[in-house]
Each structure stands twice: as structure tokens, then as C-alpha cells.
Amino acid sequence: MASTPTSEYRLRRRVQFHEVDSAGIVHFSWFFRYMEEAEHALWREAGLSIAPPGAEVAFPRVSASFDYRSPLRFEDEFDVHIRIAAISPRSIRYLCDVMRGSVQVAAGTMTVTCVRREAGDVLKATAIPADIASRFAVAPASGQET
Amino acid sequence: MASTPTSEYRLRRRVQFHEVDSAGIVHFSWFFRYMEEAEHALWREAGLSIAPPGAEVAFPRVSASFDYRSPLRFEDEFDVHIRIAAISPRSIRYLCDVMRGSVQVAAGTMTVTCVRREAGDVLKATAIPADIASRFAVAPASGQET
Amino acid sequence: MASTPTSEYRLRRRVQFHEVDSAGIVHFSWFFRYMEEAEHALWREAGLSIAPPGAEVAFPRVSASFDYRSPLRFEDEFDVHIRIAAISPRSIRYLCDVMRGSVQVAAGTMTVTCVRREAGDVLKATAIPADIASRFAVAPASGQET
Amino acid sequence: MASTPTSEYRLRRRVQFHEVDSAGIVHFSWFFRYMEEAEHALWREAGLSIAPPGAEVAFPRVSASFDYRSPLRFEDEFDVHIRIAAISPRSIRYLCDVMRGSVQVAAGTMTVTCVRREAGDVLKATAIPADIASRFAVAPASGQET
């Protein structure tokens, strides 16, 4: 568990065969899963699970985007560098760079909102609990990598 | 809703781009999803959902297999023909043929068991409720297609 | 095959079990696959395949985004309404609304670029061939649905 | 690169959020991907890629199965232990145990065949090239773990 707030995480990953499409490159939908895998690793780095058993709150995505610059191929090793760009009372905004060595493969964004599950299976926006919010901080100097 | 018990279903499907791997053929893991999609369509044909909101029982898979005979490619149309091979008090066994026209692409099997969720998130085997079991019957003459 | 240029398509779809995550809603990565499925149906409506055997050009994605407004759940029926927002010599930009009846579930964008595969497996931007570009037109009045 | 033939591999893996279904357990289709990820890691351990650029042969799956014994949940760490049960001139048969600590989660099998791509995109069975076959050996004492 981190003693200081966590603001970024770099996940090392390898391209799996089932992630590659018939053009021989990673299917664009996979980058959103890579970004989420890095987000959850960042939460673990902060001593948290984003979806522990019996959780009272959840963090659905309200927006996500990627710009694709260079392809990833089967068995490529790459890094998913996620960092916190903003924290508001009810949401967290991330920036994400996917890098193959020093080559930028893709740049993403993702915003998640804290919700509480109410009667009738309705999701209602709520404040991020203090014991979660206190573990995170905005990453310094969050410019895109080059 | 069927007035007589349901025993088989034929799902018409088209290969999507994201299901095809870098060899240009549908990734073998997708056939298990095709088989499950056909199973759930069979349940809807029987007037049921396999996972309705607030369900007291669930039907996890205890075994699944496929033999692959011929590849499927992008935009191919195909049929997933699922039928009930056996019903016991606690489980259902399916056979499945994936066909592209008259060509057999793959032959699968799947067995699901009825479970009840107990305290501590434990899944405990239980009898299939009568209002579910009564909707299904074993398919006649369940030889593999050719 | 369409005799007039194609500019939009509405794909009817049902949520499959394997698309739903442990929060009981469709995983956000799936919307990008829904959008692509609708794009490829739009190409078929125009008498084309986006990836025919032996194709000389391909259409990798250069950007994609979604804003999420309302969840989709298991077995929900929904429409993926894709339309062409812009065509340039080398790229096509789409807008996409995912609707459950009259409820907007999500709004997406996607831009694809035409590339030619060159020696060394390099992808080089190139003009969209005339026999492809002539089949498409920008959709009229492309405001977001409400 | 291994100096002696490779016969088994143990892949350490963590359950990702997008692999878990609405019942809160890893979707059964994912085990086939886990098994394939371990197979490709075994090939890398042997100094090989199963699908290198410009490959003359490929290894499509001809059969695959899993028996499921115990569920995997979000963020569980587990091992995928794959080993070679048989090698024939044209095919390799694997056994696979998925273990969470000392608990057996699932037991799988998979058989792959060596094919050469011929004119008309036909896949024709062929002998496994000697420089590949020589890197692998049947694993000793291949009983199922308990």
C-alpha cells in the first residue's frame, strides 16, 4: 500500500494472439481494455480494488477515447502509462499513453464517475468516499509523451 | 412462448471482423460464445431467460468442447444448431453443430449445472426448478449432422 | 447493392451474455465493437466489404470515442445508428448513436484512414479508391439524436 | 532459448475485470484464451514464435475442451500450467491445469495441427518442420494435478 497518494502507473504488457485482428494488428477495441487494466493496477498500487466484494459504490465509465498512431503486433511488448489528470468530488479523469519502447502507439482518455446502486437497480451519482479519494492525486506535468 | 417443450434452436449469425484472428479465420475461443448465444436463444424460444434480474438460480458451465473441421472467415453467414442431448435433475447437456450451408464447420458439447448462490458467495448445486425444467425436452435423433 | 450513395445504417442488435460485466452492464469496450459492426453493415448496404479477400487497401482506425449515458443489460434489444459525418480523400469520419428504444445509451465517433500495405509490412496512407468513395455520401442533418 | 527440449510451462496470470461475467466469475470462454496464452509462452520458452512474420506454416486448433471445477473471480491470481501430452508428425496435443494456489480451477485439453497455406487460401495439413519439432518433448508423468 502506498504511503503517499498514487497518481500514475506503468503497466508492462505483451500482445496476445487473440487480441490481433486479420490485418495483423491489435484490434482497436483492445486499447480500451489495456487502459482499464492499467487503471486497476494503479488502484492496486494505491492499496485498493476498484470492485471489491460487497462494494457500496462502483465506477462506470462516462467517456473514453483513443487516438491511434502506430500499430502493435503479435508478441510485441509495450507499456500502458496511465495517470490521473483530474479528480472532482464525483469523478476521476485519466490520460493514457501506450508506448512500444520510445514509440507512441496510442493516446487515450477515460473518465469514470462514482455511483451508488439504489433500489430498482438504478445507478445514482455520489461522492467518491474519502478513504478512496485520499489515496489518489493528480499526476504532475501531465503532458502527452513523445 | 412455446406451448410444447423446446429441444433445439438454430441461430443464424454472421462473422464479425473482431472475431477473426491474424490467420484470417474465426478464433477458436469464439465458437464457445456462439454456442452460448444459441443456448440463450433456445431459452428465449422456450419463454425463458437464463439470467433474469433477481434470479435465484444460475447455470454455470461444468464442461465444454469443440472439434474444428473447417474455417469460418469474415462476413461468412453460418448457423449454430444447438439441441438438448440430456436433462438430469441438476444439469443440461447440449450438442451443437456450426454449419456454413451444408458444410460442418465445428461440433461442440456443453454441460451446465443448476446452482443456488449461498452465503459467502458460495455456489451450491441444486435441482433445476420445475417451471424451468418443464419447458425443455431432449431433442429426437440427436446424431451429429454431416 | 445501393443505386444511390449510402450515408447511414441502423443495426438492430441484442446484448449477449458474454458482453456484460460483473456490474451487470455491457462492458464499455463492447460499444466500439458495436460501432464497427454497424460500419461494416453500412459498407455491405453500399455493396462493399471493408476487408474482401486480396484487398489492396485497408481502413485502420485513427481515432474512436464514446460518451456513455445509460446502461445496456443482458438481452436488451438496441439499435446502433451509424452515419457518415465527413469524407475526405483519405479518410471517413462516422458518428454513432446507440439507442434502446427512444433512450440514448451512448454516442460515439470514429475516423478511419485508407492505407496501402507496402514492403516491410508498412502501412502507407493513400487515397480511397474511386469505386469505394463513390458509394458513400455524407449523411444529411447529422445532429445527435435525442 | 532452451538448450534442452521444452515440454511444459507455468504462466502466472491475474483475472482482469473485462474477463468476468455478470455472475461475478470468469466467463468460460476465457479459459481457452488462457490456455492459448500459456501455449505461446511455452513456444517462446522454446525459443520460438508460433506465428512469426512471414511464417510458412500455421497451427490451427482441431479440438479444445475444458472441465470447470471452481470459479475464478476479479483480481484472483492463478497459474496456467500447460504441458505437451503427445507429439505426432503433424500435431501436438496439450494438457492444461488452471490452478488458484493448490485449488484446481479447471482442466483443459487442446490439439493443434500443422498446416501450410496453399493457393486459394486453402489450409493443407503438413509435417511439423524439424527445426520446430526438435525444440519440444512430451512432458513426463502427465497426470492431472490435484
The per-residue pLDDT for range C70-119, each reduced to its tens digit, is 999 999 999 999 999 999 999 999 999 999 999 999 999 999 999 998 87
- pLDDT for B7-16, tens place per residue? 999 999 999 9
Tell me how close the Cα of C27 comes to any Cα of chain D, in angstroms: 7
- Does B144 reach chain A within 8 Å, measured CB to CB? no
pLDDT in tens, D68-118: 999 999 999 999 999 999 999 999 999 999 999 999 999 999 999 999 988
Record the pTM. Answer: 0.95
Residue D76: what pLDDT? Answer: 98
Q: What is the mean pLDDT of chain A?
A: 93
**B145 pLDDT more than 60:** no
The three grid cell numbers given for residue B2, joined into one nine-digit string: 412455446
Looking at residue A146, what is its pLDDT? 41
**Would the pLDDT of C145 be above 50?**
no
Task: Select the more confidently predicted residue: A50 or C1.
Answer: A50
pLDDT for A34-44, tens place per residue? 999 999 999 99
The minimum CA-CA distance between C102 and chain D, rounded to whole Å, is 25
All residues of chain D having their beta carbon less than 8 Å from the beta carbon of residue C17 are 21-22, 27
- Per DSSP bridges, beta strands B77-87 and B8-14 are antiparallel
DSSP state string for chain D:
--SS-B-EEEEEEE--GGGB-TTSSB-TTHHHHHHHHHHHHHHHHTT--SS-TT-SEE--EEEEEEEE-S---TT-EEEEEEEEEEE-SSEEEEEEEEEETTEEEEEEEEEEE-EEEEGGGEEEE-PPPHHHHTTB-PPSS-PPP-
Share of chain B above pLDDT 90, in %: 86
- Neighbouring chains of A at 3+ CB pairs under 8 Å are B, C, D
**pLDDT over 80 (residue B143):** no
pLDDT: which is higher, D143 or D16: D16
Model pLDDT, residue D143: 52
Of the candidates A21, A53, A121, which has its C-beta nearest B22's C-beta? A21
Q: Give the pLDDT score at C3.
A: 73
A44 reaches D (C-beta below 8 A): yes
Q: Is A34 helix (H, G, I), strand (E, B) or coil?
A: helix
Per-residue pLDDT at B25 exceeds 90:
yes
Which chain C residues are Cβ-neighbours of B18 within 8 angstroms? 33, 36
